[in-house]
Amino acid sequence: MFHAQVLTLFPDFFTSALSCSIPARAIKSNLVEVEYLQIRDFSTDKHHTVDDAPYGGGPGMLMKPEPVVAAIRQARTRQPDTHVVMLSPAGVPFAQAKALEYANMSSITLLCGRYEGFDERISQYVDEQLSLGDYVLSGGEPAALCVLDAVIRLLPGVLGSADSAVLDSFTEEGILDWPHYTRPEVFEGEAVPDVLLSGNHEKINVWRKQQAIERSRLRSSLIKKASSF
Ligand code: SAM
């Protein structure tokens, strides 16, 4: 069974999302176990403080090293092989290849920040820093949830058809998925491409491949164009 641990101040954040659809089925079938460690429980002072003001001044508060590092140590004791990931805008970008890498591990631990982020010294206690993208979230929880969802659907036995994950965008050849259509055949004047109704599977496969390549090219050229401004 794959083990995921989440170090967070807001374990309730995950309850609803992971009790729906694919992750819920995976948890129920014992293909994955998700455990939460409340970082506040590792604070030893009377008020269970987890944050403090930054040295050098400036707005906001930072997550203090003592409770966070104690939570990381506890996570490593519970799952000695766990790979500890700090969610941070400064981390390496999350992508499908990274989800696959995690899905091939036995355990991951996701460390969620809040406030203005972590005391920098905490980064020495994690294995990796991971970013969901070049934007700032209010906390690491939405990022951790995306990672959990992407990893869980890659675990063996989670998806009904073995092909579903292989055919997803970014997976087999690192490119986007092709466009999909279902009934009705014509929707508000827009018809399903003829080739999909042809019954000729060779032609359909060629068309799908071309579409996937074209979409991926279009997106990468859009990215290049956008970055030239
Ligand atoms: N002051 C930080 C900065 O400007 O980089 C932002 C801190 S953010 C408000 C609080 C926490 O949310 C972070 O410690 C991190 O755990 C999480 N977070 C925010 N944006 C993220 C992103 N793009 N990827 C991963 N985690 C993110």
Question: Using one digit for the tens of pLDDT, what is the confidence trace for 120-136?
Answer: 999 999 999 999 999 99
Pocket of ligand 1 contains residue 117 by CB under 6 Å: yes
Q: For ligand 1, what atom is nearest to the CA of residue 132?
A: 24
Pocket of ligand 1 contains residue 89 by CB under 6 Å: yes
What 8-state DSSP symbol labels residue 140? H
The pLDDT score that the predictor gives to residue 165 is: 75
Instruction: Name residue 8's amino acid.
Output: T
* pLDDT higher than 70, residue 222: no
Q: How confident is the model at residue 3 (pLDDT cuts 50, 70, 90)?
A: very high
**CATH domain 175-227 topology:** Trp Operon Repressor; Chain A (1.10.1270)
Are the beta carbons of 149 and 108 closer than 8 angstroms? no
Give per-residue pLDDT as tens, 194-208.
999 999 999 999 999
* pLDDT higher than 60, residue 11: yes
Give per-residue pLDDT as tens, 90-123.
999 999 999 999 999 999 999 999 999 999 999 9
**Mean of per-residue pLDDT scores for the chain:** 94
Q: How confident is the model at residue 160 (pLDDT cuts 50, 70, 90)?
A: confident
User: What are the structure tokens assigned to 3, written together?
Assistant: 């083990």
User: Is 175-227 in the same CATH topology as 2-152?
Assistant: no
Give the C-alpha separation, 48 to 64, whole Å: 11
Give the C-alpha separation, 76 to 90, whole Å: 23
Give the C-alpha separation, 33 to 108, whole Å: 11
Pocket of ligand 1 contains residue 139 by CB under 6 Å: yes
Catalytically active residues, by annotation: 89, 116, 153, 168
Sequence ranges of the domains in the chain = 2-152, 175-227
User: What are the structure tokens assigned to 92, written together?
Assistant: 């390496």
Pocket of ligand 1 contains residue 138 by CB under 6 Å: yes
For atom 17 of ligand 1, the residue with the nearest CA is: 140
**CATH domain 2-152 topology:** Alpha/beta knot (3.40.1280)
* pLDDT higher than 70, residue 188: yes
Output the pTM of the full model.
0.93
Instruction: Name residue 148's amino acid.
Output: L
The pLDDT score that the predictor gives to residue 227 is: 62
Q: Left (φ > 0), alpha (ψ -120 to 50) or beta: where does 161 sit?
A: beta
For atom 27 of ligand 1, the residue with the nearest CA is: 88
Average pLDDT estimate for 142-156? 98
Give per-residue pLDDT as tens, 17-73.
999 999 999 999 999 999 999 999 999 999 999 999 999 999 999 999 999 999 999
